[in-house]
A and B are shown apart, each in its own frame.
Chain A
Amino acid sequence: MNGWILAIVQTSLLLLCAPLLTGWVKWIKCKLQSRQGAPPWQPYRDLFKLFKKEVVLAESASPIFRVAPYIVFGVTVLAGSVVPMFAIGLPTAAIADVIVLVGFFALGRFFLALAGMDVGTAFGGMGSSREMTISSLAEPAMLMAVFTLAMTVHSTNLASMTRYLLEQPLQLYPSFVFSAMGLLLVAVAETGRIPIDNPATHLELTMVHEAMILEYTGRHLALMEWGAMLKLMIYGMLLGDIFFPWGIADSFAPLPLLIGFLSLFLKLFLLGLSLAIMETGLAKMRFFRVPQYLGLAFILCLLGMLSHVILEIN
């Protein structure tokens, strides 16, 4: 029973903290680019404002357009609830393994892309087409990385993966290094950050995610935006769980939980910092360069798998 309560607490904390991570990345980026910048809690104000605003629907919008934000947000929350945040051994972790997690993101993306096509403007279709192209290249790379890790830890269950890695003595697996690099590239592509997509742009030639949600207003837009923030946070947690599992609580006692929470805070703080530095240093890539970028991610993951087969299987 404790587990279920903790799972609910964890999911609500995820919901609460996600805007802060996005705000933090934005704030750091502004500082790095010598701009004043909105405070890190600005996304909360934005969401609050959007929830209060009136919804304007396009005349040509169908029910899909109105259902999509709820599905996208709901599925993302569900995906967040199965990823260990600051404790492992939660009952929700058994609902879905990493492959199902990828399936959740794909389901959300499916509806997001349909919503983009719904109104019948060129922008939406453009965004959907690009998003589906990018994701279809990113998904094999991501699963390849997951498979490599799963071969080492003999599980695709996130909680079991983390527990196994915690129990091992600290050692450097060559396959993990490659997979970490590959998964990082995929995470950048999947969360729509520079150099793949620019979350701050509204220029039709470059936008992907923003193009799909261009017609959204009010609470629908708020849900879509919040969903995107959650996704960033979930990917951050995922990278943390797999590659830096130290500090995560494996019992439900208060002290380990506190340590788990603080370590998560620190991990995401650093991850946000490096993301902001990367986004400041890089320029957005031309869309037709993306296949090469994701090809690199796939090759890295493949190398990870091969090095696992060659070096680590005795």
Chain B
Amino acid sequence: MALNLVYLTIVAAFGSAVLPILFCRSTVASKLVAFILLGISGLSGILGGGMALLGKVDISAELPIGLPWLHCHLHLDPLSGFFLFLVSLISLMAAIYGSAYVREYQQGSQPLLPLTLFTGLFVVGMDLVMLADDAFSFMIAWELMSVSSYFLVAYQHQNETNRRAAFIYLLMAQIGGLFILLGYGVLASFSGAFDFSSMQAVELSPAWSSLAFVLALIGFGMKAGIVPLHVWLPQAHPVAPSHISALMSGVMLKVAIYGFIRFVYDLLGNIYWQWGVMVLSIGCISAILGVLYALMQHDLKRLLAYHSVENIGIIYMGLGLSMIFAGTNHLELATLGLIAALYHCLNHALFKSLLFLGAGAILQQSREHNLEKMGGLIKRMPVTAFCFLIGCISISALPPFNGFVSEWLTFQTALQGTILTNHILTALIPISAAVLALTGALAAACFVKVYGVCFLGLPRSQNCAEATETAYGPQLSQILLAALCLFFGVFPTWTVSQIENIAQILLPTGIPMATSHGWLWLTPVSSDVASYGAPMVFLGIGSAWLIVWLWLHPRRKKMEIRIAPAWDCGFGSLNARMQYTATSFTMPIRRIFRPVWFISENYQQPGENAPGGRYELKVGDWAWLKIYQLIGRLLLATAKRAAFIQGGNIRIYLVYSFFTLLFLLWVVSL
């Protein structure tokens, strides 16, 4: 049943890609077909994935397609079910959101067809990655996902930045794919077969297994966006259409996490704690640098893209802790770390998609993508503002919303570090927890900035002053995501008990203590050590608010609220340019963490063309400037050197061919 639903998911997504071509005469018809089928695919995927997760399904199937000696192996278990659920949930939201959102493109210069075609193929690719049970079909599905998302990033290719971002994205996706292929190559050469079940069975020596691990870490990390492999993310996400950004950031990065978990926990199996230390440090660096870079961004979608780097870092921290504990045979704690990481995958998919969809609504309604031009949108777009606020609270890891639960679980895992006998690890793990605390606090600062500058205060541009609320479709998808953020924040015990199904397969143990005190209490280790009553917290905040409000409310009848101008120190009326901007808000943080960014500040004294003076601030990414540009320069220089063999004379080329042939003959004869 679950597998049939998953087949339906893939077929419907494929239909949403291909069928609109038949209706290409009428944009409305093709749009309807595409988004309805995408919605059906999402719904059946939610059901199928959910059933696989909740029912601990374990089904294998073999389709007679693919290479003659290697049929396509499919496998559905709780791990793939969980990620399939995520992909389908967000693609359902994208379908609800998209049909009204793409109206903008209908009148534009682009035909709508490429967008729907590649969106469908993209979802098909992601779904197939979850199902693949041999390296060959995994790589095919992975490349389908990468290449179709390339076309989505390049959709508005008339802009130079879009083309550039798409090219960098494709380049890095291909290099990452190569690393994954090599990783599978190591496993396949020892097992002699490409299917995952024989890869699981083979025992590798520590050196080979570590090599395969590092290849997988780089390959999947390239897609997930760990620092310093993150540079494609802040370029590609802002230029894609917003529902695609939500899909890419919300779930495509999770597909990489899925691949990593599948590779390390399932295929390699025997985990060494040194790997965990590596993953934990990468996670810490990604989390802290991601949030610091995000703080300095003024393009809303670019800022959100950097926050994806931060959240991927938090997920890797959970995984790293889990691997350290798994490597030292503390399987219950390894389970706890894995659950924290998976929970954060779920949460990040929800709130990041919510924020990207909100950002898309703002972009479409106000035509501004620069934070410094926004302001006062809460009055123009109340529904979007409300949902965006929930997204901001969730991503800042504040109770009682979902982001808090997974970070709390990560903290609890880190706190159990004293159980380790290696004292260096015992001292390092709390420091990683402090990094997590710093990340959370800086994320809160960042989202106060985003919300305060974008939605509150006075509008900083005419466009924002005249913006209107979005259509019902985008509103509905945002409301649903916001409600889910609250749901997974308030009922963590149930969620943890379901995610535990995954851990029971990967690390054959569960954490019975976590949910043993009923649905009200979450007690990851034991009730004496730590407990969190999320429904009580929600109820407590609600009732405290209600009591105070009821107590003060009667006064309102006696005394009308007086509306008056804001206090202006007696200097005359305030205007929008006097407000704190995003740049000024983050100035103290910029000053404290100065070496983290490449900063160039330029101040021009008041002159003729700039009566008030001019201030220009550029914040660059060190990884891009110091690593990637260097590699680019080196490549160009080598290419120039190598170009000397290109003489342009046909006789020389014939000589080259002759010697190549000779060489190959020699190789063959060996």
Contacts and interface: CB of A to CB of B under 8 A. Distances in A.
Contacts of A122: 578-580
A125 B565 contact: no
B411 interface: yes
Given A75-B544, A120-B375, A140-B434, A133 B566 contact: no
Interface in B533-566: 533, 536-537, 540-541, 544-545, 548-549, 552, 555, 559-566
Interface stretch (B197-205, B314-322, B423-431): B423-431
A139 B530 contact: no
A114 interface: yes
Interface string A90-105: 0000111101101110
Contacts of B458: 60, 120
B528 interface: yes
Interface size range on B against A: 35 or more
Contact of B559 (A55, A125, A133, A143): A55
B528 A157 contact: yes
Contact of A70 (B379, B545, B562): B545
A133 B440 CA distance: 12
Interface stretch (B334-342, B584-592, B632-640): B584-592
A224 interface: no
A302 B412 contact: no
Interface string B230-265: 000000000000000000000000000000000000
A70 B548 contact: yes
Contacts of A255: none
Contact of A128 (B379, B412, B452): B452
Contacts of B145: none
A71 B545 contact: yes
Given A119-B457, A129-B586, A144-B430, A309 B423 contact: yes
A219 B393 CA distance: 25
Given A58-B564, A120-B456, A125-B580, A114 B549 contact: no
B453 interface: yes
A75 B440 CA distance: 19
Interface in B560-609: 560-568, 574, 576, 578-580, 584-589, 591-592
A39 interface: no
B530 A155 contact: yes
B578 A121 contact: yes
B537 A96 contact: yes
B397 interface: yes
A103 B448 contact: no
A132 B448 contact: yes
Given A94-B521, A107-B399, A151-B415, A133 B423 contact: no
Contacts of A104: 399
Contacts of B585: 125, 128-129
A258 interface: no
B562 A55 contact: yes
A130 B447 CA distance: 14
B274 interface: no
B559 A120 contact: no
Contact of B423 (A62, A100, A313): A313
B507 interface: no
A298 B438 CA distance: 11
A103 B438 CA distance: 13
Nearest to B379: A62
A185 interface: no
A283 interface: no
B445 interface: yes
Contacts of A77: 544
Nearest to B564: A56
A139 B580 contact: no
A291 interface: yes
B464 interface: no
A136 B456 contact: no
Contacts of A42: none
A156 interface: yes
B329 interface: no
B662 to A, nearest CB: 65
Interface string B413-439: 011001000010011001101110110
A156 B415 contact: yes
Interface in A99-152: 99-100, 102-104, 106-107, 109-110, 113-114, 116-122, 124-126, 128-130, 132-133, 135-144, 147-148, 150-151
A27 interface: no
A147 B441 CA distance: 17
A288 B593 CA distance: 12
Contacts of A215: 566-567
Given A70-B548, A100-B408, A136-B445, A126 B588 contact: no
Nearest to B425: A309
B15 to A, nearest CB: 43
B464 to A, nearest CB: 12
Interface in A49-76: 51, 54-64, 70-71, 73-75
B617 interface: no
B579 A97 contact: no
6 contacts: A56-B563, A58-B565, A121-B566, A214-B567, A288-B588, A310-B423
Given A74-B545, A125-B584, A223-B548, 15 more contacts: A56-B561, A56-B564, A58-B564, A59-B566, A64-B456, A95-B532, A96-B532, A113-B448, A114-B451, A117-B456, A118-B457, A125-B457, A140-B435, A144-B434, A154-B418
